[in-house]
A = this chain, B = another copy of it.
Amino acid sequence: MIRIDLGAPVPLVEQIEDQLRRALAAGELQPGEPLPPVRQLAGDLGVNLNTVARAYRALEAQGLIRTQRGRGTVVTPRSRAKPGKAASRELRDALDQVLSEARLKGFGESTMRGIFEASLRHFWQQG
């Protein structure tokens, strides 16, 4: 379900968090559905249970999942709130970051569009 890279420069907690968020955005994890217990996921990935617990807590702080000691962790229903100005600025910034790198690496405009459309479909189509 998730694959982590011990040699990557990005922290394990963040790798786990990012991939779970992607699964949530793609609809692979539906609201109400339980996430694996921290010990199980930690065992599968070969990391400490705290590392998974921290990823869960980060996602909970973003309102994406809800966790309760002794009971487990479940996916929360998707927020229907419209994003604010700060969120828009952050999104533009993150996109600029990705596109500027792509530009410098030699990707062309149409290639870029193709990759974008694929990702867009992945996360917006029915997800």
Residues of B within 8 A of A106 (CB): 79-83
Listed in ascending order, the chain A residues whose CB lies under 8 Å from chain B are 18, 21-22, 24-26, 62, 64, 78-83, 87-88, 91-92, 94-107, 109, 112-113, 115-116, 118-120, 122-124, 127
User: Could you list 28 examples of A-B contacts with CB < 8 Å?
Assistant: A21-B101, A21-B104, A25-B99, A25-B101, A25-B104, A78-B104, A79-B106, A80-B106, A83-B106, A83-B107, A91-B98, A91-B107, A91-B115, A92-B118, A92-B119, A95-B115, A95-B116, A95-B119, A96-B123, A98-B98, A99-B119, A99-B120, A99-B122, A99-B123, A100-B123, A103-B124, A103-B127, A112-B120
